[in-house]
Amino acid sequence: MKYEEIIHRCFRCGYCKLTGDYVDFNCPSYRKFRFETYAPGGRMWLIRAWLNDEIQNSERFQEILFSCATCANCVENCVFTFSDDLVNIFIAAREEMVNKGVIPSVVRDYLKNIYVHGNPYKEPANERGTWADGTSIETYDGQEYLFYIGCVGSYDERGQKIARAVGNLLMKAGVSFGILGSREGCDGNEVRALGEAGLFQLLAEQNIALFKELRAKEIITLDPHAFNALRQDYPGLGGEFEVYHYTQILAPLIQSQMMPLKEYRARITYHDPCYLGRHNGVYEVPRKILSSIPGVELVEMDQNRENAFCCGGGGGNFFTDILGGGEDSPNRIRVRQALDTGASVLAVSCPQCAKMLEDAIKVEEMEHRLEVMDIAEIVTRALS
Ligand code: SF4
Ligand code: SF4
């Protein structure tokens, strides 16, 4: 396995499962299960034992490996020299398990659906662009930007709503852009995180070939997961594009008054998506948008920016739900943290976070106290 020669260096000090100030447990799988084996250091020792044939692969072992949300809190807080590679080590172990065919059935189903249908929902490819029906959003044909949506924004009802909100805002601001519609393919971020490196490469190469055929140079992504794949992984496969998360396009338009905003009185707290924040360092742009809206009071949760607590949807968990529900599920913990700020709106900038957190609000019966809104929906409200 890749990284095999460094895995024994973890001395299980345990800092990786904490926040930067060592006050709270911030690894979502540890927080949920409270066993050291579900913490990053424990996983390291478990993988090592498996590689050394000291333990057998079992359903429990698979659950432990695949419950990691790849949130990168451990990357931020591990005190050792290999910290940058921690998530890559967990993905490499999953890769080894995929190659040996010993993976949870929910992971196998997810990967199979992407391979067979091109999306996890088993929906027809020609319905990928239906989220834009009824709008005047055009198909990409050499406009300045290609707007890439991803599977959740394309097929999930909540995701589609957010995709339309972003698309309509870009149109209102006069941005020249187009979408791929039924020609769009899965970006593969979760496929890679789940350890199917071969399928990820296939998807990435297909997307890169299409972007190049269409001469797209600048790409706006709806979903931070796609943003991460296109920005971090595609260049290594020959796909060098200028990639933006949609907030990075909206922020300068708002700052330059090209989208003048009216008053919207609300106390808002912002949840950093792991794939926008820790994985790509975009912390301030979404906050700039929110604090530019007259009447908005932006308040922070204790765990914010580098210390944000993951919603539990990363690393494929949004689809596989290996982390599972219950009072200590990451999304329920996160909405309680949001409520503690006194905010009435929990702002997000990721369709996966939106869904995870909305589900948690329902289970916690907080619907009348806290509403999840994507930043694009908040800006839309401030424009009307
Ligand atoms: S902080 Fe680093 S060295 Fe310490 S237990 Fe975690 S992974 Fe191992
Ligand atoms: S990436 Fe996140 S969920 Fe996975 S081990 Fe690290 S802190 Fe825990």
Any residues with CB less than 8 A from the CB of 122 and at least 6 apart, and which? 113, 116
| CA–CA separation, 31 and 34 (whole Å) | 6
Give the model confidence (pLDDT) of 30-57 as tens digits.
Answer: 999 999 999 999 999 999 999 999 999 9
CATH 2.160.20 fits 107-250, yes or no: no
Q: Which ligand is nearest to the CA of 323?
A: 2
Nearest residue to 66 via CA among 316, 294, 252, 249: 316
Distance 152 CA to ligand 1 centre (A): 33
Give the model confidence (pLDDT) of 125-155 as tens digits.
Answer: 999 999 999 999 999 999 999 999 999 999 9
What pLDDT shows up at residue 350? Answer: 98
| CA–CA separation, 22 and 104 (whole Å) | 33
Report domain extents, the chain.
4-103, 107-250, 260-383
Q: Which amino acid is at 264?
A: Y
For 186, the token pair is 């899965």
Distance 368 CA to ligand 1 centre (A): 41
Residue 116 has pLDDT above 90, yes or no: yes
Taking the CA of residue 78 as reference, the ligand 1 atom at the shortest distance is 1
What pLDDT shows up at residue 281? Answer: 98
Task: Report angle CA 211, 70, 210 to the nearest 5 degrees.
Answer: 10
Taking the CA of residue 83 as reference, the ligand 1 atom at the shortest distance is 2
Helices (H), the chain: 4-7, 28-33, 40-51, 59-66, 73-77, 86-100, 105-117, 151-155, 157-172, 189-193, 197-213, 224-228, 246-255, 284-292, 317-320, 330-340, 351-363, 375-383
Which residues form ligand 2's pocket by a CB distance below 6 Å?
27-29, 40, 43, 68-74, 87
Residue 384 pLDDT grade (very low, low, confident, very high; cuts 50, 70, 90): confident
Estimate to the nearest angstrom the gap between the alpha carbon of 184 and the chain centroid.
Answer: 19
Residue 314 pLDDT grade (very low, low, confident, very high; cuts 50, 70, 90): very high
Distance 75 CA to ligand 2 centre (A): 8
CB burial class (10 A; 0-12, 13-18, 19+) of residue 257? exposed
Which protein residue has the closest C-alpha to ligand 2 atom 4? 68
Residue 320 pLDDT grade (very low, low, confident, very high; cuts 50, 70, 90): very high
The yes-or-no answer to whether 107-250 and 260-383 have a common fold is yes
Spatial contact of 204 and 211, defined as CB atoms under 8 Å apart:
no
Average pLDDT of the segment spanning 207-214: 98
Which protein residue has the closest C-alpha to ligand 1 atom 1? 78
Q: pTM of the entire structure?
A: 0.97
Estimate to the nearest angstrom the gap between the alpha carbon of 147 and the chain centroid.
Answer: 17
Give the model confidence (pLDDT) of 249-277 as tens digits.
Answer: 999 999 998 899 999 999 999 999 999 99
Q: Which residues are 244's β-sheet partners?
A: 220
Spatial contact of 230 and 148, defined as CB atoms under 8 Å apart:
yes
For 371, the token pair is 């509403």
Give the model confidence (pLDDT) of 86-95 as tens digits.
Answer: 999 999 999 9
What pLDDT shows up at residue 349? Answer: 98
3.30.1490, 3.40.50, 3.30.530, 3.40.720: which CATH number matches 260-383?
3.40.50
Taking the CA of residue 16 as reference, the ligand 2 atom at the shortest distance is 7
Residue 372 pLDDT grade (very low, low, confident, very high; cuts 50, 70, 90): very high
Taking the CA of residue 14 as reference, the ligand 1 atom at the shortest distance is 5
Distance 365 CA to ligand 1 centre (A): 37
